[in-house]
Amino acid sequence: MRVIDTKSKQFEKNFSRLISSKRSQSVSKVKLVNQIINNIKKKGDKALFVYSKKYKKVNINKKNIKISNSEVNKIIKNLNNDVKKAINVAYKRIYQFHKNQAMTGYVFKDKIGNQLSYKYRSLNSIGIYVPGGTASYPSTLLMNAIPAIVAGVKNIYAALPCPEGKINPGVLYAAKKCKINSLFRVGGAQAIAALAYGTESIPKVDKIVGPGNIFVATAKKEVFGSVGIDMVAGPSEITVVADQTCNPEWTAIDLLSQAEHDVLSQSILITKNKKFGDHVRQIINEYLKYLPRNKIASKSIKNYGAIIIAKNNKEIVRIVDRIAPEHLEIKVKNPETIEKKISNAGSIFLGKYSPEAIGDYIAGTNHVLPTSGSARFSSGLSVSDFYKKTSIIKCSKSGIEKIGQLAINLAEYEGLTAHALSIQKRLGD
């Protein structure tokens, strides 16, 4: 885990290299993904079944592509009760947080008799992609489904990759809790294409949400425009701001909590105390010896991890905003003093008792967050992502008479004669 000191003459060079490091895989995947998409568009289910067998080692057909209610009930029957309880509580807390984001629109009447309004309507249908490769996450389904439920989306479908035919019972339980309309045992770029364009078995949706591997992310990017997407998410990342008042072991584990996700994940510690940073690094190295996903975490820490030694809080704020991290932990004596100055972060966790992991599961906020510096201009998933917003204009006769000539002036200035005439005719020649 590299150490970068802001006092070093090489700091800017080393820091720029750190935050601009390529944490995505080759764009060569685009050609293959587009081939898959085009085949799904042309051949529908036939191509979907072929790709599922080829890439997921799953034999699916028209009869079994949809996971039946009886199959769901059978699989979740033996799910650990502690897991069920955790999912139930997580659902409740996530729902409670997101219900406060519901939108109703508004009406504005100006002084000259015109009425302007803004109307919110929920999307008709969405598709949720729930990863099923190296790991499978019930929390992913909850975080993507619940905001849509609050928004009033009527048709919610989920694509569940089932490598070698295996289905995660926790994901199925979460799906049942969310009352997902239909569950399809499909994954990969082919699942994204099927949701985007529809097949004989899978309906076309208005928007696709949920994370996935490079093939899924690329497919979402390629189908965007034909269908809405939440974001093109990159590898997970965390930045921890901590000082000597914080437990170094807790700090080390928090950094590892993201490193274990993916070899491309990034974990960064920012501290003013070099001795504290060195201690954290030692603990990380010890945990890497026996962490179950140590091979993944070790590569992540080695290639993309860093400890940044800063002089003061002003420097810390500047560095954090340049990173614009997906997750930001602030674990100093008075975390609010730093937090209130931060502009760029997907989600912020304040104080030593607020680990990022609590937000992943049960705090209630959404864990679908902007990555790769995109927190500079985007936000995490919310209820607003499942609305369409429509503006409505109703001009009165006196209202258009008072502002119409000004619009005509602008239309003529822009050389759009018909625009001008459209208004002029209502004003009288």
Residues noted as catalytic: 326-327
Locate the DSSP E strands across 145-262. 155-159, 182-184, 207-209, 228-229, 237-242
| AA identity, residue 57 | K
Angle subtended at Cα 165 by Cα 164 and Cα 169, rounded to the nearest 5 degrees? 120
- How do beta strands 266-271 and 207-209 pair? unpaired
The rounded Cα 208 to chain-centroid distance in angstroms is 11
Burial class (CB in 10 A: 0-12, 13-18, 19+), 107: exposed
Up-side HSE of residue 135: CA atoms within 13 Å toward CB?
Answer: 11
Q: How far apart are CA 262 and CA 297, in angstroms?
A: 7
Contacts for 229 with CB less than 8 Å, ≥ 6 apart: 207, 208, 209, 220, 221, 223
Nearest 5°: CA angle at 414, between 413 and 419?
A: 100
Spatial separation of the C-alpha atoms in residues 148 and 136, rounded to whole Å: 21
Question: What's the CA gap between 50 and 60, in Å, rounded?
Answer: 9
C-alpha pair distances (Å), 149 with each of 64, 143, 191: 26, 11, 22
Backbone angles phi, psi at 324, to 5 degrees: 50, 60
Q: For 26, which DSSP code? A: -
The maximal CA–CA distance of the chain, rounded, in angstroms, is: 84
The Cα 379–Cα 381 span in angstroms is: 7
